[in-house]
Amino acid sequence: MKIGKNGLTVLEKRYLVKDEEGKMIETVEGLFDRVANAIADADLHFDSKADTKQTAKEFRNMMTELEFLPNSPTLMNAGRPLGQLSACFVLPVGDSMEEIFEAIKQAALIHKSGGGTGFSFSRLRASGSTVKTTGGVASGPVSFMRVFNMATEAVKQGGTRRGANMGILRVDHPDILQFIDCKKDNADITNFNISVGVTEEFMEAALKGEDYPLYDPRTKLEIGKLNAQEVFDKIVDNAWRNGEPGIIFLDRLNRDNVVPSQGEIESTNPCGEQPLLPYESCNLGSINLLSVLKMDKDGTYVIDYEKLKRIVNTAVHFLDNVIEVNRYPLELIDKTTKATRKIGLGVMGWADMLLRMGIAYNSDEAVVLAEKVMGFINENGRKASHELAKTRGSFPLFSESVFASGAPLRNATVTTIAPTGTLSILAGCSSGVEPVFAFAYIRNVMDNTEMIETNPILKQVLVERGIYSDKLMKEIIAEGSLQHLPEIPEDIKRVFVCSHDISPMHHIKMQAAFQRHTDNAVSKTVNFTHDATREDVREAYIQAYKLDCKGVTIYRDGSRDSQVLNIGSVQ
């Protein structure tokens, strides 16, 4: 078992099965056995003589070797009574009391099981419009979002993890200005990430400084105009203030909607990486890129593409099986998910892999390699899905999909790049495709002692070069970066760049490189230093648009009272 100390702590705290008194009744080995066996059993749905023992062994090894991990709900719930295995759901919100409160109930059931929900509120009538049955005045999308937020807050107490939501409003909804401001106060609507759903028409109007139309969601009639540049500036100003709202490019989500007959994609999951149709769910899994490095004859690290291919094949098999044994929170979600069978295979440990290979994250070489690695995963992932289709059949809506004239596919989408917030701690690697946030920091452990945590790859290099010392680490802790330290040699400085050493433009270039080879979307936060200007943020949003990203999320250091990652220390 390769799992490290921090990974074990997370497993013990949150994943291992406990009895009613909170006593652990599962070991770490037991967890991986439980998950591997439950997921391998799905093979029997297609072949009553399938060797599930052998498959379970492959699945277990892939997890215990930290080569691949499925999303948290699969680790928590596989082979257990709840059995809900997906991280991502999108629920529709219709323009009636019944539909609104139905969606709240459905979301509560999903949160209870560890899944996250995305909603578009664009179908709700504008605030101030009339309510036919009562003659009253409608509250509008933002008021209802507060109700969703409260429900999530209440479920938090009893659920397996903090419920997360994505709230989206189309930029041409009459309440858009109110929506853009709805999280201006950091303490408001805290269980939501919010994104403005923008259209190409809006972006072009914003770049030209023109007006664009607003539509009544019920009649679809134009009811007014706003200046696109002013609205865009307002989005940028708020994002500069505290990181929200983000933007999603709705037309691009729908350009890549592979079954357009099923309607429009109007939302993503909470962290933005998984666009889905209403009532669709998707299970994710991530390959730890550090695990596919091998030492070359000359002592440098290179990618073992054969091994990567093997992991991709087993991972696609695993994720397709998850769809079979998953216990869906609603009948309709079961049916909708199985009609397209979307899976989201992605990567983690990208930044660590670059460090090992001696390639700077902010170099053109890294961007070229990103395309090569993700291109390889995407291509082989699709091949694996094709192979599965030969024995299991293609996804039921295949003949209505954009793939209809080509080779059969088991899954309508294969790749997604998730944040891997917890998975990367379990695997002991950098998260998703993000750069390293800080090379050293202080971890406050439970008995109030402080421990210095250093990026293991940096530590190894510094030790080898004979320059490692606690004093040096403390100087790194102060900035997260090592660029300011004269005692660090230039060749180390060039490669060991952290998030704030990398220009926002390069963050976006990396996101765009991964996006080009990802069926769904890429979770990425463009991190700015505290002194970044609104103009810098505006430029990043425009570049994300120009480089064909599907969305963009930014964060300026220190712009919220409480932030997930802090330079200096973590709890």
For residue 164, state whether it binds ligand CDP (rule: CB under 6 A).
yes
- Please report where in the chains the tokens 């989005």 appear, as a residue: 235
Interaction of residue 161 with ligand CDP, rule CB under 6 A: yes
Cβ atoms within 10 A of the Cβ of 483, count?
Answer: 15
Nearer to ligand CDP, 271 or 477 (CB): 271
Strand spans (E) along 290-419: 293-295, 301-303, 343-348
Residue 165's H or E segment, with its range, is strand 165-170
The yes or no reply on residue 87 touching ligand CDP (CB under 6 A) is yes
Minimum distance from residue 269 beta carbon to ligand CDP (Å): 4
**Shortest distance in whole angstroms from residue 333 CB to ligand CDP:** 14
When the beta carbons of 139 and 553 are compared against ligand CDP, the nearer one is: 553
- Residue 568 one-letter amino acid: G
Interface pick for ligand CDP out of 37, 52, 71, 411 (rule CB under 6 A)? 71
- Residue 269 annotated among the catalytic residues of the structure: yes
Is 378 or 422 the residue whose CB approaches ligand CDP more closely? 422
Three-state secondary structure of 197-211: EECHHHHHHHHHCCE
Active site residue 257: no
CA distance 256 to 266: 12
- Given CA atoms 416, 418, 423, 425 in this order, what sign does their dihedral have? positive
Stretch that binds ligand CDP, among 157-165, 334-342, 475-483, 496-504 (CB under 6 A): 157-165
Match 């009895």 to its residue by tokens. 19
Among the candidate windows 36-44, 161-169, 310-318, 400-408, which touches ligand CDP by CB under 6 A?
161-169
Smallest gap from Cβ 29 to ligand CDP, in A, equals 20
Q: Is 88 in the site for ligand CDP (CB under 6 A)?
A: yes
- Looking at 37, 106, 152, 269, which residue binds ligand CDP (CB under 6 A)? 269
Q: Rule CB under 6 A: is residue 162 a binding residue for ligand CDP?
A: yes
Longest dimension (CA), the chain: 79
Of the candidates 184, 186, 139, 189, the one whose C-alpha atom is nearest the C-alpha of residue 166 is 189
Minimum distance of ligand CDP from residue 72's CB (angstroms): 3
Between 56 and 76, CB nearer to ligand CDP: 76
Tell me the residue number closest to ligand CDP, measured at CB. Answer: 116
Question: Catalytic pick from 71, 238, 269, 378?
Answer: 269
Apex CA 417: angle with CA 420 and CA 300, to 5°? 80
Dihedrals φ, ψ of 166, to 5°? -115, 130
CB atoms within 10 A of CB 189: 20
**Which residues in 280-319 contact ligand CDP (CB under 6 A)?**
284
Q: Which of 7, 197, 270, 435 binds ligand CDP (CB under 6 A)?
A: 270
Applying CB under 6 A, what is the total number of residues that bind ligand CDP? 20
**Would you state the torsion angle of the CA atoms of residues 211, 216, 220, 221, taken in this order, to the nearest 10 degrees?**
-60
**In whole angstroms, how large is the CA radius of gyration of the chain?**
23
Q: Minimum distance between the CB of residue 117 and ligand CDP, rounded to whole angstroms? A: 7
Whole-number Å distance between alpha carbons of 258 and 271 = 21
Q: How far is the CB of 13 from ligand CDP (least distance, A)?
A: 13
CA dist 392 → 5, 9, 343 (Å)? 40, 39, 15
Integer Cα distance of 119 and 275 in angstroms: 11
Nearer to ligand CDP, 71 or 139 (CB): 71
365 catalytic? Reply is no
Tell me how far, at minimum, the Cβ of 172 lies from ligand CDP, in Å: 26
Type of residue at 284? L
Among 52, 55, 72, 362, binds ligand CDP (CB under 6 A): 72
Q: Which is nearer to ligand CDP, 1 or 564 (CB)?
A: 564
Using CB under 6 A, pick the residue from 107, 168, 194, 271 that binds ligand CDP.
271
Report the candidate in 70, 563, 551 with the shortest Cα–Cα distance to residue 272: 551
Q: How many CB atoms lie within 10 A of CB 233?
A: 14
Q: Which of 88, 182, 271, 498 is catalytic?
A: 271
Kindly state the smallest distance separating residue 108's Cβ from ligand CDP, in Å. 13
User: Which of 273, 280, 434, 479 is flagged as catalytic?
Assistant: 273
Nearer to ligand CDP by Cβ, of 87 and 567: the residue is 87
CA distances from 87 to 84, 165, 266, 423, 486 (A): 9, 11, 18, 12, 45
DSSP-derived 3-state class of residue 159 = coil
Q: With respect to ligand CDP, which residue has the nearer C-beta, 396 or 421?
A: 421
Confirm or reject binding of residue 115 to ligand CDP (CB under 6 A). Answer: yes
Q: Any bridge partners for residue 441, and if so which? A: 453
Candidate segments 141-149, 225-233, 268-276, 547-555, binder of ligand CDP by CB under 6 A: 268-276
- Work out whether 197 is an interface residue with ligand CDP (CB under 6 A): no
Question: 196 with 169: CB under 8 angstroms?
Answer: yes
Minimum CB–partner distance for residue 73 and ligand CDP (Å): 8
Nearer to ligand CDP, 87 or 287 (CB): 87
Residues 397-426 that bind ligand CDP (CB under 6 A): 418-423
Q: Counting beta carbons within 10 angstroms of the beta carbon of residue 58, is it exposed (0 to 12), middle (13 to 18) or buried (19 or more)?
A: middle
Least distance from ligand CDP to the Cβ atom of residue 553, Å: 11
Rounded Cα–Cα distance for residues 552 and 542 (Å): 10
Length of the chain: 571
- Residues engaged in binding ligand CDP (CB under 6 A): 71-72, 87-88, 115-116, 161-162, 164, 269-271, 273, 284, 418-423
Catalytic residues: 269, 271, 273
